[in-house]
Structure 1
């Protein structure tokens, strides 16, 4: 039985831009990595587009490139362009270039092309992504040794998620390994991706929309909803993806609305337009 949508204390009439999480909101992962669109999500995105509201797709996905992600979503029925997708890797590469940083990377091999033009000789920083099964002891320990060898260690993490959901169940995310290196090296990681304010603000700037007139729809109550609210946006929590019933009693993050899925979220946004 579908849970009721909690009454919304805000008016959707003020919304001029929509940010959507991808995994767990648009689609669910499958064991063969093909993925499956969540019921109603393809149509929900099309309805948003037809409404005239600008849409951006915000993800902490670091197991593939933007182009690979767009192709995957296209196969599932979604229509979107590479320029509409905002993952952490391109932003990290820009930071590395601006600060003359040479990373030792602990990332998924599928994300390697994003760093193809980055100098990685004689590393003077560490970059973490969701390396999944490639988070080996040898790799993580090499990252530890690199940081310990630096007078001013720099640790950059593409997100800080605790876990995510795949077909086989919940999986540890990059945040767990980030925290291990923070603890071992007495260093504070720089977060690039959700919930970083700079990440959200870059998306808002691209849309040309003020935070007070934007809404984020996601399945991660801390990184999606909490991060958006901290920037002045509205945050809608979907009960799909990694959502767990205990999220509705989160001690610090209180979404502006709960909905059963993206289709219901779009209903909420468009009902008064």
Structure 2
């Protein structure tokens, strides 16, 4: 018999993953735009919480608008959008190993770095760039990771995300990365507080069992897993066992929430 999820508590606000929940590849997932409209009509606050580290918030907002979503840049929370405050807090001056498209949202590259900030650099994860970052780390630099997702699903299929490259640098430099994005507890809690709510009043909806669902639950949030995006057979049972809800899509989850 499949395990039963925990009953939902009071939900004051939602955190919604983007890739795999709102859209997939080059099109919106059926019903997702209407789901956001329903949330606005019910005055349910939400933030779009994503580990995407290839584009800026402004670019992502524009792309979502092109898919039919009525969203603003201010409603999007990314690791890069909070990285500057964290690095400043720690006195870190970074060497950047990120995709060039993300640079407008990132801290400034330091002339004499004492840290490395890694995002999903895609094709820019070359030997030369990885080795440059490695040399900063073996001189005592601190490693910061915008995310450590293993993979994601694009229009052309599954692709490696930043996680495997972060792990390579950790292994080579014998260090451990400070995680900024999901599933970092601080990231979830910061996004909940941005709406003015406590973690337990906030629910995370995602397609990634580890980063979205289990990460949110560990941070004290409620969570729901959708069967879109990178969802795989077996994820539903594990999600329910951990206390999460499971829905076919964001649209189905929102229909049940606002009914």
Regarding TM over 0.5, the answer is: yes
**1:101 aligns to 2:92 (yes or no):** yes
Once residues 79 and 90 of structure 1 are traced to their aligned partners in structure 2, the CA distance between those partners, rounded to angstroms, is 20
Once residues 240 and 166 of structure 2 are traced to their aligned partners in structure 1, the CA distance between those partners, rounded to angstroms, is 22
Q: Return 5+ residue gaps in structure 2 as ranges.
A: none
Q: Return 5+ residue gaps in structure 1 as ranges.
A: 30-34
Per-residue CA shift, 1:201-221, capped at 9, x if unaligned? 111111111222211000010
Normalised by the length of structure 1, the TM-score is 0.89
Q: CA deviation at 1:101?
A: 1.9
Q: Answer whether contact 1:6 1:258 (CA < 8 A) is retained.
A: no
Partner of 2:161 in structure 1?
A: 173
Partner of 1:112 in structure 2?
A: 103
Q: Answer whether contact 2:225 2:236 (CA < 8 A) is retained.
A: no
Which residue among 147, 170, 175 is the counterpart of 1:159?
Answer: 147
Task: Map residues 29-178 of structure 1 onto 2, 5 A cutoff.
Answer: 29=25, 35-115=26-106, 118-150=108-140, 153-178=141-166
Once residues 101 and 8 of structure 1 are traced to their aligned partners in structure 2, the CA distance between those partners, rounded to angstroms, is 41
Q: Answer whether contact 1:225 1:253 (CA < 8 A) is retained.
A: no
Partner of 1:18 in structure 2?
A: 14
Once residues 45 and 132 of structure 2 are traced to their aligned partners in structure 1, the CA distance between those partners, rounded to angstroms, is 43
Once residues 216 and 150 of structure 2 are traced to their aligned partners in structure 1, the CA distance between those partners, rounded to angstroms, is 17
Considering only aligned residues, what root-mean-square deviation do their CA atoms show, in Å?
A: 1.9
Distance change in 2, residues 1:165/1:109 (3 Å): same
**1:231 aligns to 2:219 (yes or no):** yes
Q: CA deviation at 1:225?
A: 0.4
Once residues 242 and 9 of structure 1 are traced to their aligned partners in structure 2, the CA distance between those partners, rounded to angstroms, is 23
Matched residue pairs, number? Answer: 258
Per-residue CA shift, 1:112-162, capped at 9, x if unaligned? 1123x6242111111100111111111111111111122xx3000001101
Distance change in 2, residues 1:118/1:174 (3 Å): same
Distance change in 2, residues 1:90/1:145 (3 Å): same
Q: CA deviation at 1:99?
A: 3.0
Q: CA deviation at 1:184?
A: 1.0
Q: What secondary structure does 1:126 align onto?
A: strand
Q: What secondary structure does 1:24 align onto?
A: coil
Partner of 1:212 in structure 2?
A: 200
Once residues 255 and 266 of structure 1 are traced to their aligned partners in structure 2, the CA distance between those partners, rounded to angstroms, is 18
Normalised by the length of structure 2, the TM-score is 0.94
Q: CA deviation at 1:248?
A: 2.7
Q: What secondary structure does 1:245 align onto?
A: coil
**1:268 aligns to 2:256 (yes or no):** yes
Which residue among 5, 20, 27 is the counterpart of 2:23?
Answer: 27
